[in-house]
Copies of this chain bind each other. A is one copy, B any other.
Amino acid sequence: MAGYVIDFEPIGRRGTVGADQSILEATRELGVDLVNLCGGAGTCGRCRVQVLDGKVSEIGANEQEHLTKDELDKGWRLACETYPQADCKVHVPPESLTAPQRTQVEGLEVAVEPDPAVVAHPLELSAPDLSDLRADGDRLLEALEQERKVTCTSIDVETLRGLSPRLRSQDWKLRASVREGEIVAIGPPEGRQLGLAVDLGTTKIAGYLLDLEDGRTLSSHGIMNPQIAYGEDLISRLSRAMESREEATRLQQLVVDGLNQMAAVLCEEIEGDREQIVEAVIVGNTAMHHLLLRLAVDQLAMAPYVPSISKSQDVKARDLGLRLAPGAYVHFLPNIAGYVGSDHVSMMLATGLSTAQRVTLALDIGTNTEVCLVSGGELCSVSCASGPAFEGAHIKHGMRAANGAIESVRLEQGKVTYQTIGGATPTGLCGSGILDAVAQLYLAGILNRGGRMDLQPGVQDDGDLREFILVPQEDADGRSAITITQKDVRQVQLAKGAIRTGIQLLLQSKGLAEDDIDEVIIAGAFGTYIDVGSAIAIGMLPHLPLDRFRQVGNAAGRGAILALVSRAKRREAHAMAGKVGYIELASSPDFMNVYTQSMYLGPYRADED
């Protein structure tokens, strides 16, 4: 059989496909789980991929409809309508993938001039003899000064421990990694300088391994945050850490172990070594930041929710128990407040918010949702306690975004269609599925604006509980039908109401209306997978044309990469964090009123009774 070799990036799947197979068909054969709601009919427009290299079929009619000219020019296609005509390299963005790639680690090449905090200097030293008895370290420091015009004042003690044997085994040739006047690592002259960027989420951790010299992402990897065993949300973890010093240490150790394993996996993929990682940047919400650093959290968990520190910090990796290069530092981007962490700053950095000229709203949706409004060059953020409903918690058939989770729901003329992650038999609903379900029920008139469920076909009521049957028992993998209950709807209303309250109070504080927003940026794993139309339908997001929305995936991770590769970006983040205004929602006099209005389904109205 004649065929072509296709490389799927960045997931690294490769295989041969027949000459008459579409890219979508190729993904099925190669086990790449591409989203396709319409089953390959070209109508849902979800199976977007970017052809990076190779020849493919002409652009089809459905593609003209679903993709902009700019996207088509950049090689974006629908996988179901595109047929390889030669060997190809195809980029699959995370939003086109179903789980388990959902830990969001796409390794985007970031367009920034590399200017890392750690710079490598190759050197060849003279060996000591009776006429030159200088100590090894002194010899190295003097060569740096004379040959590279780099003034160093110290050698990290752990690095120094390996210096003398290494100089001799490498025949006095080496590569010194210098950071702000300190030698933090010594390697072979041809060695690589790696950097580690981490987005430390409450639920997921995404890690990226970079070549610090050219700024390329070499590998990426996602894991669940191992602290989950100690509580799914921030508050339960903070409470745990407050119990005792031992518990706090245990929580820290869990995440440190996870990060060490992640670093090992990332290095393995490129046949590298953790000792080559000379710098790391870690971003996360303030609680994750504090738990990793094992800072006190009592004052963070209680009003007025004050962090131990917000300013950026450089901490030796070894002081955290991280096993990287002996003298490596971890740089922590600044936090803004107790519930607005460095992941938010990182997202703002990655999306260029600080230089945004138009009115821009940026959201990072999660258990805690941070929202930032940019207008007239001013940035202002709020934190909304949106809760874990979109993580599947407190929802009768809720579940995480794992295999078998319903991630997308449509209800047309009383008929339910859905897609599960991995195409598996449905076992429950993940966040985007829950959102879709509530939106579809509202659009179908089964839920009213107040969120009350009407007793229409598909809805059952045992007197105690009213629920809509999405998947009948015989089609479901569980012991029962998969439903959306009246209580589930209330949970979603609470969650979306919190988010919408943040948006409204931000707009009010600047005297702006919904329609003044030029662009809405949606970041984060959940935000990547949601159907924006559904989010608008229930009133979670402003009622604006779809082209004003941009789903940017893990922008926090991308910001961490930027801060890892570029000192200029690091400075930008610090400057930005210093000038972001922060509104404490609960202290706004209008809070209760706005919150009440925000809980209604459908477009937001300030004056609803």
Q: B135 near A165 (CB under 8 angstroms)?
A: no
Q: A136 near B293 (CB under 8 angstroms)?
A: no
Min CB distance A185 to B, Å, is 16
Cα distance A80–B313 in the bound complex, in angstroms: 64
Cα distance A310–B142 in the bound complex, in angstroms: 12
Q: B160 near A311 (CB under 8 angstroms)?
A: no
- A71 within 8 Å of B by Cβ? no
Cα distance A451–B90 in the bound complex, in angstroms: 91
Interface-lining segment among A33-41, A125-133, A549-557: A125-133
Q: A134 near B315 (CB under 8 angstroms)?
A: no
Q: A293 near B154 (CB under 8 angstroms)?
A: no
* Known contacts A304-B130, A311-B141: A319-B157 contact under CB 8 Å: yes
Q: A164 near B299 (CB under 8 angstroms)?
A: yes
- A307 within 8 Å of B by Cβ? yes
- A163 within 8 Å of B by Cβ? yes
Q: A309 near B128 (CB under 8 angstroms)?
A: no
Q: A296 near B135 (CB under 8 angstroms)?
A: no
Cα distance A164–B302 in the bound complex, in angstroms: 13
Our pick among B130, B160, B296, B307 for the contact of A309 (Cβ within 8 Å) is B160
Stoichiometry (number of copies): 2
- A475 within 8 Å of B by Cβ? no
Q: B304 near A136 (CB under 8 angstroms)?
A: no
Our pick among B155, B160, B310, B315 for the contact of A135 (Cβ within 8 Å) is B310
Chain A: interface secondary structure?
A: mixed
Q: B587 near A135 (CB under 8 angstroms)?
A: no
Q: Which residue of B has the minimal Cβ distance to A299?
A: B164
Q: Which residue of B has the minimal Cβ distance to A137?
A: B309
- A230 within 8 Å of B by Cβ? no
Q: B157 near A293 (CB under 8 angstroms)?
A: yes
Cβ–Cβ < 8 Å partners of A299 in chain B: 136, 164, 168
Cβ–Cβ < 8 Å partners of A137 in chain B: 307-311
Q: B133 near A298 (CB under 8 angstroms)?
A: no
* Known contacts A141-B311, A155-B309, A313-B154: A293-B133 contact under CB 8 Å: no
Q: A161 near B337 (CB under 8 angstroms)?
A: no
Cβ–Cβ < 8 Å partners of A134 in chain B: 306, 310
- A158 within 8 Å of B by Cβ? yes
Tell me how many residues of A have a C-beta within 8 Å of chain B: 48
**Which parts of A116-175 form the interface with B (CB within 8 Å)?**
128-130, 133-138, 141, 154-155, 157-158, 160-165, 168
- A584 within 8 Å of B by Cβ? yes
Our pick among B154, B165, B314, B584 for the contact of A154 (Cβ within 8 Å) is B314
Our pick among B129, B294, B584 for the contact of A304 (Cβ within 8 Å) is B129
Cα distance A599–B155 in the bound complex, in angstroms: 43
Cα distance A264–B168 in the bound complex, in angstroms: 40
Q: A158 near B584 (CB under 8 angstroms)?
A: no
- A295 within 8 Å of B by Cβ? yes
Q: Which residue of B has the minimal Cβ distance to A305?
A: B133
Cα distance A155–B133 in the bound complex, in angstroms: 38
Q: Which residue of B has the minimal Cβ distance to A319?
A: B157
Cβ–Cβ < 8 Å partners of A168 in chain B: 299
Q: B306 near A135 (CB under 8 angstroms)?
A: yes
Q: B130 near A293 (CB under 8 angstroms)?
A: no
Min CB distance A122 to B, Å, is 21
- A582 within 8 Å of B by Cβ? yes
Q: B584 near A130 (CB under 8 angstroms)?
A: yes
Contact pattern, A 566-583, Cβ under 8 Å of B = 1, otherwise 0: 000000000000000010
Cα distance A295–B136 in the bound complex, in angstroms: 11
Q: A584 near B133 (CB under 8 angstroms)?
A: yes
- A50 within 8 Å of B by Cβ? no
Q: B296 near A338 (CB under 8 angstroms)?
A: no
Contact pattern, A 457-472, Cβ under 8 Å of B = 1, otherwise 0: 0000000000000000
Q: A162 near B338 (CB under 8 angstroms)?
A: no
Cα distance A180–B403 in the bound complex, in angstroms: 54
Our pick among B138, B160, B296 for the contact of A165 (Cβ within 8 Å) is B296
- A504 within 8 Å of B by Cβ? no
**Which parts of A570-604 form the interface with B (CB within 8 Å)?**
582, 584, 587
Cα distance A163–B136 in the bound complex, in angstroms: 39
Our pick among B130, B161, B315 for the contact of A587 (Cβ within 8 Å) is B130
**Which parts of A433-476 form the interface with B (CB within 8 Å)?**
none
**Which parts of A246-302 form the interface with B (CB within 8 Å)?**
293-296, 298-299
- A386 within 8 Å of B by Cβ? no
Cα distance A168–B299 in the bound complex, in angstroms: 9
Q: A295 near B158 (CB under 8 angstroms)?
A: no
Q: B293 near A135 (CB under 8 angstroms)?
A: no
Q: B133 near A295 (CB under 8 angstroms)?
A: no
Q: Which residue of B has the minimal Cβ distance to A584?
A: B130
Q: B296 near A582 (CB under 8 angstroms)?
A: no
- A225 within 8 Å of B by Cβ? no
Cβ–Cβ < 8 Å partners of A316 in chain B: 157
Contact pattern, A 315-338, Cβ under 8 Å of B = 1, otherwise 0: 110111000000000000001011
Residue of A135, A138, A155, A582 with most partner-chain B CB within 10 A:
A135
Closest 6 A/B residue pairs (Cβ): A137-B309, A135-B310, A135-B307, A164-B296, A164-B308, A128-B306
Interface residues, chain A, with chain B CB atoms under 8 Å away: 128-130, 133-138, 141, 154-155, 157-158, 160-165, 168, 293-296, 298-299, 304-311, 313-316, 318-320, 335, 337-338, 582, 584, 587
A-B pairs with beta carbons under 8 Å apart, 22 shown: A128-B304, A128-B306, A129-B304, A133-B305, A133-B337, A133-B584, A134-B306, A134-B310, A135-B307, A135-B310, A136-B307, A136-B309, A137-B311, A157-B293, A157-B313, A157-B315, A160-B293, A160-B295, A160-B309, A163-B308, A164-B298, A164-B308
